[in-house]
Amino acid sequence: MEEIQVKKNELREEITKKLAVLPDREIAEKTKAIEKRLFDFANFLEAKIALMYVHKKGEVPTGNILRRSYDYNKLVVLPAYDTENFNMTPMKIDNLDKDLHIGPRGILEPDAARCKIVPIERIDIAIIPAIALDEKGGRIGSGEGYYDRLIPRLAITTRKVALALEHQIVNQVPIESHDKHVDIIITEDRVIYKI
């Protein structure tokens, strides 16, 4: 168990270093290609309620994706984090400029005074952040386990989709029994369906 944690941390560092040397222009181009694939993706187009994320370092930037989702009449949902219990609550965001504030993890999240909770079973598609992924849908996130707790609570019909640069795809992600997989990965070059 401890050995797997060490491997995960090494992989996080390796991916972070890989991404750090990429020029901003290249990351922007790759992100734009991922965004195009997402907005052409049938499961995303058909979804009404989309759980998304505000990116942290090492994750695919989502700022433009969030803004553009409103043009596609998506009900945008973002997680509010409970850092004491490592839990998250999905909340509807009507206005990205007014409904968010800096949360306990140092990133923007829903302001509970302005946003309504969305029942988890209503989410049609969940865009899951990742630092590293393999083609079987194995993922490594920030290491806090928020999404490993969330994924089992989603409806079985909810598509679980990760966005990643090809640089973040590895042969095999070290997996523990509590780690949850995604169904689909969208990169700048392809859409990978879990094998």
Q: Which amino acid is at 148?
A: D
Question: Do 44 and 183 form a contact (C-beta atoms < 8 A)?
Answer: no
pLDDT at residue number 70: 96
Residues recorded for the chain: 195
Domain assignment of residue 137, yes or no: yes
CATH at 57: 3.40.50.10420
CB atoms within 10 A of CB 51: 27
- pLDDT tens for the 195 residues of the chain, in order: 688 888 988 999 999 899 989 999 999 999 999 999 999 999 999 999 999 999 988 899 999 999 999 999 999 999 999 988 888 999 999 999 999 999 988 889 999 999 999 999 999 999 999 999 999 999 998 878 899 999 999 999 999 999 999 999 999 999 888 888 999 999 999 999 985
d(CA 7, CA 57): 19
Beta bridge partners of 163: 186
In a domain, 107, yes or no: no
Q: Position of tokens 């922007």?
A: 28
pLDDT at 85: 86
- Does residue 109 sit within a domain? no
Q: Where are the alpha helices (DSSP H) in the chain?
A: 2-20, 24-40, 42-46, 63-71, 146-150
162 bridge partner residues: 128, 185
Q: Is residue 71 in some structural domain?
A: yes
- Cross-strand bridge partners of residue 78: 91
For residue 87, being part of any structural domain is answered with no
Tell me whether residue 177 is in a domain: yes
Neighbours of 66 (CB within 10 A): 22
Q: Phi, psi (5° rounding) for residue 33?
A: -65, -40
Answer yes or no: is 89 within a domain.
Answer: no
* Domain membership of residue 13 as a residue range: 2-78+123-193
* pTM: predicted TM-score of the whole model, two decimal places: 0.93
Residue 1, pLDDT score: 60
pLDDT value of residue 175: 87
Number of folded domains that form the chain: 1
Establish if 35 belongs to a structural domain: yes
